[in-house]
Structure 1
C-alpha cells in the first residue's frame, strides 16, 4: 500500500505524514509547482511536483495509484476515478468515499456548478474544524491499519 495525497490544499498533511510513516507506509504528496518547497521531507515521504493545470495532480495520482492504495483528496472527480481503480479514498473532513455515496456527491457538485453558471450564489464549504481534524485522524488510522 502507498498513500497518495492531493496535497495542494490538504489541511491534514501533518497527520498523514506522521501516521503513515509510523506505519512505514510510503507517503506521496502530489502538488503543483506553485507550492514548490526546498524543505527536506522526512524519510518515507516523497513530493511529486506537477504543472499548475486544473487536473494535473489528479492525472498524476491516477497514473501512479494501484488497487489497494489509499488516496486523500477533496476532489469528487478524482475520488470517483480512484474508487473505480480499487483504491480506498478519504476526504480530509473525515469521511470515506464509497461506491454508495460518490454518485450523490458528484450530482451535488454538478448542480452547484450549474447554479453558479446561471448567476446564482452557492455556499462554500464549512470551515475546517479541530473536530474535523480528529475525525480524519481516526478514520485514517483505521484505514491504514487494515
Structure 2
C-alpha cells in the first residue's frame, strides 16, 4: 500500500490503535506534533515529527506533506476540510469519516459554536472519549485500510 497515514498527534487519543493497524497493513505512519506536546512515545511505532510550538504548526506541516490517497487522522474540522480538497481520506479519532458532502455542515456547526462562545455562551464541551469510540475508530480505520489494500 502506498498511502501514508498522517496523525495530527497533539491530542489524539488513539495513537496506539493507529500504530497497531499501520503495522498490520504495512503502512508508513507519521505522527505530527508540536514540541509543546512532546511525550513518552514508547508504545507508538512510526515516525515522529515535531514542529514549532503554535496553533497551526502541525496543521501546516501536514498540509505541506500530505498527498492524494494518503490518510489523515484529526479532530480538527478545518484541517480535515483542507485535506479533503487534496484527495486525502480523513478520519476523526471517534471513527467518523469526513467526506466532501458532509464537511460543509461540520464547518458550519464549528462556526456557530465559535460565534456562541464569543457571545459568552459555553456548552458542555465535547463528550468524554469512550471505549465504544475507540472501537468505532478501529473498525473505521481497518475498513478504510482494507479497502485501500484491495482486501
TM-score normalised to the size of structure 1? 0.94
Residues 16 and 44, structure 2, Cα contact 8 Å, conserved in 1:
no
Unaligned runs of 5+ in 2: none
Q: How many residues align?
A: 145
Change (3 A) 1:57 1:131: same
Work out whether 1:34 is the aligned partner of 2:36: yes
> CA–CA distance in 2 between the matches of 1:67 and 1:99?
14
- Counterparts of 1:3-42 in structure 2, within 5 Å, are 3-37=5-39
**1:61 CA displacement:** 0.4
Change (3 A) 1:119 1:40: closer
**1:48 CA displacement:** 0.5
**1:2 CA displacement:** 0.2
Q: Report runs of 4+ in structure 1 exceeding 3 Å deviation.
A: 37-43
Unaligned runs of 5+ in 1: none
Partner in structure 1 of residue 77 of structure 2: 76
Partner in structure 1 of residue 91 of structure 2: 90
Residues 72 and 88, structure 2, Cα contact 8 Å, conserved in 1:
yes
The alignment's C-alpha RMSD in Å is 1.5
**1:41 CA displacement:** 7.4
Look up the SS of the partner of 1:119 in the other structure.
Answer: coil
Look up the SS of the partner of 2:68 in the other structure.
Answer: coil
More divergent stretch after superposition (102-111 vs 29-38): 29-38
Change (3 A) 1:118 1:38: closer
TM-score normalised to the size of structure 2? 0.91
> CA–CA distance in 2 between the matches of 1:138 and 1:2?
18
The one-character-per-residue Cα deviations of 1:80-127 (angstroms, maximum 9, x if unpaired) are 000000000000111100011100100000001001101111231111
